[in-house]
Amino acid sequence: MKLFSSPSKPPGQKTMLPALQLPNVQNMPAALSASLGLEGPSVKVDLACRFDGVLVVAGWCTGSATLGLAVSTKPLQCRHVSLSRTDVALHFGLDSAENLGFVLVAQAHEDDAVSLTWRLPGDGVGGGSAPLVFGTEPAFDGAEVQLLGPAMGLLALGEPAHSPSWRSLIARTPQVSAPCRSARGFLEGAAASDLSKEGVAFGWVVQMPGTVVWLEDEQGDTYPLEGAFRRFREDVHEATHGEFGAASRDAGFIVRLRGLKPSGQVRLKALSELGVHVLSSAHASTLPIDPVAAARWLFSIHTPMSEMHRRVPLVDEPLLRGLMEHRQSVWEQLPAKVRQLGTPVIKPQVAIVVPLYGRCDFVEHQLIEFAADPWLKANAELVYVIDDPRLVEPFANQAEALHRLYQLPFRWVWGSVNRGFSGANNLGLQHTVAPRVIFLNSDAFPQQTGWAAQMCQALDTRPDLGALGVRLVFPDGAMQHCGMEFQRREELGIWINHHPRMGLDPKLDVHKGLRSVTCVTGACIAVRRQQLLELGAWDAGYLIGDFEDSDLCLKLRNAGLEIGYLPDVQLVHLERQSFKLLGQDEFRHRVVIYNAVRHQTRWQGLIEKGPGAAQPGAWPRPLLTA
């Protein structure tokens, strides 16, 4: 729709109107009469339009006058912005162009007849007015933007932040170098992933209520700070409390930015009546593609350990999830190298899958035990999964010698890349055919023959079992595992996997016979192959490790199955698999919290209502006989 700006007559044209005739300040400049009959300054309205129910009037005035808008004789509440008009100053030969331009912004009903009003210095009463005709749907082209200047920001303040109309106005609002009185902030860093198109920025900002603050990239895309992780920054609070009061609390922020691209500048901006202020800027670096490397970068952004559980779901998990999913999609395209040593068992009853990472010297100790077990030799297929590129060549050579020495057939698989505990187990699962699978750590060793047969028998006689664990002990004989429970760490805001009775004498194990427990460790766990495949196998979405075994148990419990514990089978496990947060490096601590938050988000209902957590001592219960 055409705007009634009508700048057809030059600014200096002095067309005087009869005293009783109301001037048409939109068609031509009008001289404002002073109270003593002297000629006052000239005024001209270049633009009068409606925008989303807001009146916008822009023009110029050559002298001192109090301008406003009114409906009938009732003045409207206006916001007034002054700006420079060089064209007016040149035409009138004025010394300064400052404050010659004006923009008035007010609200009125669509049917209201609105007038421009003025009062000159020295006027005791009265003043003057001129009716205005308003256009609609401004195009905000170059000429209009020049007329409105910082007042574009006033219009943006009336729009929902980050709405299309707000973004359009913000893009046209000039940036001002004057300090922003209603906001202060500093952008400490930013990074984004080329792969996932996800980014993160962090720093601090304080703002008065009602002040809009946002991030913006070089393409002009804006990102709100709503939904950011916020925390108390004592340094910022001390520096800004006197100026901003309570608004100086929770100044620190870390925010996920969907769509941010690496490279280029990210700017922290604020909007005031003067226009757009750039509070700070930072270069967006490239976030590593590898999830662990990306996590190291993210976790280096300081956050108190006690606050990580709030931060993870807002920032870290969404960012890392995309990288983890991409990594898993790549696995499907990679070739797997498979080597079968010896003749495999025909129609095996159980598969034993053992992932190898970091070292492979324990394999011989396992083979010594396996080779002495007649039932295992006759009924098991043995699969070693190499999950470390450093082990491929040494294990390939070692495997040949071990097979010749112990005459036990086994298969090894290398999936071209490290996949982690769950990924390695899933790869091994793909290369098995037996109806039952025992996942076994490479540093776990049976203490008696027939252990695998007992585990298979328990699965066969208990169709309600989804998984079965056994007793694990340390080399000194003390208990390491007799089932797991969930324990709340209030100071960290997480549930952890807890091993009750760890370190005690196995004689103090309260379990007698096959029992039902909350969860069991993945160091030695038996499942039905087809059942596991139907439920999606192991979840490879955890970072580095932790919680993968309890996740599997909860997945099975969620499907209506029980988790069994068989204390009659005992293995020695060299490594402690307890969930200790002390005595580890800081990155590892944050990984534990990250995985714990992901775990409890997925299974919160089962964890909080589950036995052993909500009702200590009420679990385990005996499995009913068929």
pLDDT value, residue 16: 39
In tens, the pLDDT along 131-164 reads: 999 887 677 777 777 788 778 888 888 788 888 8
Q: How far is CA 113 from CA 26, 29, 48, 180, 360, in A?
A: 15, 21, 13, 36, 88
Q: How confident is the model at residue 6 (pLDDT cuts 50, 70, 90)?
A: very low
CA distance 330 to 448: 41
Residue 414 Ramachandran class (φ > 0 left, ψ -120 to 50 alpha, else beta) = beta
pLDDT value, residue 36: 42
pLDDT value, residue 123: 67
pLDDT value, residue 32: 79
Contact 213, 207 (CB under 8 A): yes
pLDDT over 90 at 125, yes or no: no
pLDDT over 50 at 10, yes or no: no
- Which of 39-53, 130-144, 343-357, 582-596 has the highest average model confidence (pLDDT)? 343-357
pLDDT over 60 at 37, yes or no: no
Higher local confidence (pLDDT), 68 or 120:
68
H/E segment holding residue 422: helix 420-430
Tell me which of 86-90, 316-320, 560-564 is least confident.
86-90
Which alpha helices (H) appear in 245-338, and where do they start and end?
291-299, 308-311, 317-331
pLDDT value, residue 425: 98
Render 84-142 in DSSP notation, one character per residue. Answer: --HHHHHHHT-S--TT-EEEEEEE--TT--EEEEEE-TT--S--EEEE---EES----H
Q: CA nearest 509: which of 500, 518, 517?
A: 500
pLDDT over 80 at 609, yes or no: no
For the CA atoms of 312, 313, 316, 318, what is the dihedral angle to 10 degrees? 170
Could you give the 3-state DSSP secondary structure of residue 553? helix
CA distance 420 to 430: 15
Q: How confident is the model at residue 282 (pLDDT cuts 50, 70, 90)?
A: very high
Q: How far is CA 132 from CA 10, 44, 50, 112, in A?
A: 19, 11, 12, 11
Strand partners for 200: 191, 256
Q: What is the DSSP letter of 623?
A: P
pLDDT value, residue 264: 86
Q: Stretch 416-431: mean pLDDT, rounded?
A: 96
- Tell me the backbone φ, ψ of residue 231, rounded to 5 degrees: -150, 160
CA distance 143 to 7: 11
- For Cα atoms 344, 461, 530, give the angle at the middle one, nearest 5 degrees: 50
pLDDT over 60 at 516, yes or no: yes
Q: How confident is the model at residue 487 (pLDDT cuts 50, 70, 90)?
A: very high
Q: Stretch 567-578: mean pLDDT, rounded?
A: 79
pLDDT value, residue 22: 66
Contact 316, 204 (CB under 8 A): no
Extract the tokens encoding 460.
């066969």
- Which of 10-14, 81-85, 136-140, 570-574 has the highest average model confidence (pLDDT)? 570-574
3-state secondary structure 442-488: CCEEECCCCHHHHHHHHHHHCCCEEEEEEEEECCCCCEEECCEEEEE
Extract the tokens encoding 122.
């020295």
Q: How far is CA 581 from CA 295, 324, 575, in A?
A: 18, 24, 16
pLDDT value, residue 127: 74
pLDDT over 90 at 543, yes or no: yes
Extract the tokens encoding 607.
């964890």
Render 481-517 in DSSP notation, one character per residue. Answer: ES-BEEEEETTTTEEEEE-TTTTS-GGG----SSEE-
pLDDT value, residue 69: 94
Q: CA nearest 93: which of 170, 11, 184?
A: 11
Extract the tokens encoding 327.
């990594």
Contact 206, 183 (CB under 8 A): yes
Peptide bond into 344 cis (omega under 30): no
Q: What is the average pLDDT score of the chain?
A: 88
pLDDT over 50 at 491, yes or no: yes
> What percentage of the chain exceeds 70 in pLDDT?
90
In tens, the pLDDT along 190-227 reads: 999 988 889 999 999 999 998 999 999 999 999 999 99
pLDDT value, residue 142: 72
Contact 279, 183 (CB under 8 A): yes
Extract the tokens encoding 585.
């490096």
- For Cα atoms 57, 60, 64, give the angle at the middle one, nearest 5 degrees: 115
Strand 39-51 with 135-136, pairing? parallel
